[in-house]
Amino acid sequence: MNFMDWITNLDRRWLYLLVGVFAIVPLIFPLGMPVNVSPAVQSLYDHVEGMNPGEIIMVSMDYGPSTGPENDPMACALIRHALSRDLRIVMLALYPIGGVNEGIQELQRCVGDLDPPNGVLESTKFPGKIYGKDFVYLGYKDGGLATMRQMNENIHEVFPSDYWQTPVTEYELSNEVQGYDDVNFAFSVATGIIGEWWANTVNAQFGLPVAVGCTAVSAPKYFAYYNAGQMFALLGGLKGAAEYERLVLDNYPQAKADTEEQVFYAAKGWDVQSVVYSIITIFIILGNVAYLLERRRTRMQL
Amino acid sequence: MHIFFAMAPLNTPDGFGIWVGAFFTLCILSFLYKDNPFFRFAESIFAGCSLGYYIGNTFSQTIVPNVLEPLVHDGHTPFISWGWWVLVIPIIIGVNLYTRYIPKIAWVARFSLAIYVGYYAALEMMLKLQGEVLPQSADTIISLVPRGTPMIDWFTSIVVMIGVLCVLVYFFFSAEHKGVLGGVSKVGVWFLMISFGAAFAYTIMGRISILIGRVVFLMGDWLGYGA
């Protein structure tokens, strides 16, 4: 049996095994693959850099655990970037299957453990940053599109209490934010269609600048919105996350130290992506060459 | 670089949860070898848990703070205060949807459904026109002469414009695709193929990310690598 016969008859489970092995190795032995920052990602970084201390960012957690490896690093990088620059953050979740848990998990990963009902309000990772004053988490609300529209009229009606069921009027920050006019921009960390709603509803109808961090599967569609100017920045999949994380880590030592403490972060994921992607590409090329040669051989026999 | 393994303890609630998660992850991954009862078991458990989570989450995060709490604690006078009606009418509309399970009065659910469909149809119409059709169309209307924009951006815009027109021609089925129309629609097919290729590549990237997530969970949370 020659090589081409072998490749066309190869049991695909060997390929799964190969991908599995190469998904593990770069996590143990990081390769430090280069990350080139694209304009769509640079735009978010530049926008945050251009904001004045005290200005507010709305971060909407519109994804669940299934896309966490792509979306978690985006959310974390933005939270760390914003807090490092003394910006304030209002977080909320609109994704039904796990958005609320992703929100609290990423917030606590970035600022440290919180327990506002029992008076634990200060961030351990960003000393001096206080829950309710510098950042607040409003929790989850059902309804998607209808919720977004209603938030333009009065956020307090949509989110009468925060994640811990404390009335939003009791905290300085959530009391101050009553509509989209009170925030500088919204960042939707999204899977599926919710990020699109931020562009085609909140941006188009209410004029709030929007940036989206989407999953790779959705990225081609989101780029149409980005090119049309309906969102000013776009982080597409793990690659977008790694680019933004690189920008933040290169410029903020505290964020770098906190991020590199984690078992997983976007740059490590990008190493795995690069290796596994290369393997898949090689097998796609080999498979196609084998197919073409096989077709040629069949034609010649006829 | 440090290789350090400390498996999650089984005798703590968090550790036990991680072991359960690892078991179900391995059950699902076993499908890669071949279909088996462990995979089907994990699949069914996942479907049930997701639904239960959704119901519980919606109840605690939406129904309680937005409906029950204001109804009980905001001091509305039943039947008299406007605020009471604002809360009760949507409850009636919502509960009404469930009458479809009682055959004799199933038709009553249609009123709620009609309101729901009417609201979202209007909302979507606005969204599609104002948020998608108009801005996306506007983005394809460009100056044929590059004025003040980098040459590469101008060239990209021209390619996008040609692509949009060719793909639109491909989906125009009222005339036979022959002659010029056939040629243009063939170019449209090429644009579609390239976009499918890009979408497929991004999809692979997304799926690898999901695999990375599971590998990190098994290695980090379960086996304790780097702990």
Question: Are the beta carbons of B199 and A220 separated by less than 8 Å?
Answer: yes
Measure in Å the smallest separation between the Cα of A56 and chain B Cα atoms. Answer: 24
Q: Which residue has the higher pLDDT, A107 or B74?
A: A107
Percentages helix, strand, coil for chain B (3-state, rounded to 5) are 80, 0, 20
Q: Check pLDDT > 50 for residue B1.
A: no
pLDDT in tens, B105-145: 999 999 999 999 999 899 888 888 989 999 988 888 877 77
Q: Among A143-152, B147-156, B166-175, whose mean pLDDT is lowest?
A: B147-156
Question: Are the beta carbons of B32 and A68 separated by less than 8 Å?
Answer: no
260-279 of A, contacting B, C-beta below 8 A: 263-264, 269, 272-273, 276-277
User: How distant is the alpha carbon of residue B175 from its chain centre?
Assistant: 36
Q: Which residue has the higher pLDDT, B28 or B155?
A: B28
Out of B62, B132, B215, the one facing A27 most closely (by C-beta) is B215
- Percentage with pLDDT > 90 across chain B: 58
Question: Are the beta carbons of B62 and A146 separated by less than 8 Å?
Answer: no
DSSP-based three-state secondary structure for B182: helix
The span from the CA of B102 to the CA of B96, in Å, is 11
Tokens of A81: 């970037």
Question: Are the beta carbons of A217 and B203 separated by less than 8 Å?
Answer: yes
Measure in Å the smallest separation between the Cα of B70 and chain A Cα atoms. Answer: 9
Out of B130, B209, B220, the one facing A216 most closely (by C-beta) is B209
For helices A266-301 and A237-251, the axis angle rounded to 10 degrees is: 150
CA distances from B114 to A259, B91, B126 (A): 50, 15, 18
Q: Among A19-33, A73-87, A161-175, whose mean pLDDT is lowest?
A: A19-33
Domain A39-264: state its class.
alpha beta
The span from the CA of A148 to the CA of B224, in Å, is 40
Tell me what pLDDT residue B226 has.
67
User: Are the C-beta atoms of A215 and A63 separated by less than 8 Å?
Assistant: yes
Closest CA to A107 of A94, A119, A93: A93
Q: What is the ipTM of this complex?
A: 0.85
Out of A13, A158, A239, the one facing B205 most closely (by C-beta) is A239
Question: Are the beta carbons of A97 and B53 separated by less than 8 Å?
Answer: yes
> In one letter, which amino acid is B46?
F
**Of B73, B90, B109, which marks where a domain is finished?**
B73
pLDDT in tens, A240-260: 999 999 999 999 998 888 888
The span from the CA of A129 to the CA of B99, in Å, is 50
Task: Please measure the distance between the N-terminal and C-terminal CA atoms of chain A and give it in whole angstroms.
Answer: 22
Q: Among A191-200, A271-280, B83-92, B133-142, whose mean pLDDT is lowest?
A: B133-142
The number of domains in chain B is: 2
**Of B51, B73, B95, which marks where a domain is finished?**
B73
Q: Which residues span the domain enclosing B51?
A: 7-73
216-235 of A, contacting B, C-beta below 8 A: 216-217, 219-220, 224, 227-230
Q: CB within 8 A of B11, min separation 6: which ones?
A: none
Q: Which residue has the higher pLDDT, A30 or A42?
A: A42
What is chain B's mean pLDDT, rounded? 90
> Considering only alpha carbons, which residue of chain B is nearest residue A155?
B66
Tell me what pLDDT residue A131 has.
97
User: Are the C-beta atoms of A255 and A248 separated by less than 8 Å?
Assistant: yes
Tokens of A41: 């990602």
Tell me what pLDDT residue B224 has.
86
Q: Which residue has the higher pLDDT, B30 or B79?
A: B30
- Let me know if residue B58 belongs to a domain: yes
User: Are the C-beta atoms of A150 and A283 separated by less than 8 Å?
Assistant: no
What is the average per-residue pLDDT within A224-232? 93
What is chain A's mean pLDDT, rounded? 92
Q: Check pLDDT > 80 for residue A108.
A: yes
Q: Check pLDDT > 60 for residue A21.
A: yes
Q: CB within 8 A of A32, min separation 6: which ones?
A: A267, A271
> In one letter, which amino acid is A108?
Q
**B136 chain-A contacts, CB cut-off 8 A:** 224, 228
**Of B23, B48, B73, which marks where a domain is finished?**
B73
What is the average per-residue pLDDT within A282-292? 89
Q: Check pLDDT > 90 for residue A103.
A: yes
Q: Which residue has the higher pLDDT, A192 or A117?
A: A117
Q: Check pLDDT > 80 for residue A201.
A: yes
Q: How confident is the model at residue A5 (pLDDT cuts 50, 70, 90)?
A: confident
Out of A96, A160, A230, the one facing B135 most closely (by C-beta) is A230
Q: CB within 8 A of B122, min separation 6: which ones?
A: none
- Residue B31 DSSP symbol: G
Q: Check pLDDT > 60 for residue B3.
A: no
Q: Among A84-93, A266-275, B88-97, B148-157, whose mean pLDDT is lowest?
A: B148-157
Question: Are the beta carbons of A201 and B127 separated by less than 8 Å?
Answer: yes
- Percentage with pLDDT > 70 across chain B: 96
127-166 of A, contacting B, C-beta below 8 A: 139-143, 145-146, 149, 158-161, 165
* Domain locations along chain A: 3-28+275-301, 39-264
Q: How confident is the model at residue B227 (pLDDT cuts 50, 70, 90)?
A: low
**B208 chain-A contacts, CB cut-off 8 A:** 19, 23, 238, 272-273, 276-277
Measure in Å the smallest separation between the Cα of A70 and chain B Cα atoms. Answer: 6
Tell me what pLDDT residue A180 has.
96
- Let me know if residue B218 belongs to a domain: yes
- Percentage with pLDDT > 70 across chain A: 100
Q: Check pLDDT > 70 for residue B102.
A: yes
- Let me know if residue B83 belongs to a domain: no
Count how many pairs of residues, chain A against chain B, have C-beta atoms within 8 Å.
Answer: 151
Whether A66 and chain B come into contact, CB under 8 Å, resolves to yes
**B210 chain-A contacts, CB cut-off 8 A:** 66-67, 69
User: Are the C-beta atoms of A61 and A99 separated by less than 8 Å?
Assistant: yes
Measure in Å the smallest separation between the Cα of A275 and chain B Cα atoms. Answer: 11
Q: CB within 8 A of A116, min separation 6: which ones?
A: A131, A132, A162, A164, A166
Task: Please measure the distance between the N-terminal and C-terminal CA atoms of chain B and give it in whole angstroms.
Answer: 13
Tell me what pLDDT residue B196 has.
93
Out of A201, A203, A237, the one facing B205 most closely (by C-beta) is A237
Q: Among A258-267, B1-10, B43-52, B83-92, whose mean pLDDT is lowest?
A: B1-10
pLDDT in tens, B68-85: 998 888 888 888 888 899
The full DSSP string for A151-214 is: HHH-HHHH-SB-TTS-BGGGSHHHHH--SGGGSSEEEEEESTTHHHHIIIIIIHHH---EEEEE
> Considering only alpha carbons, which residue of chain B is nearest residue A101?
B57
What is the average per-residue pLDDT within B30-51? 95
**B90 chain-A contacts, CB cut-off 8 A:** none
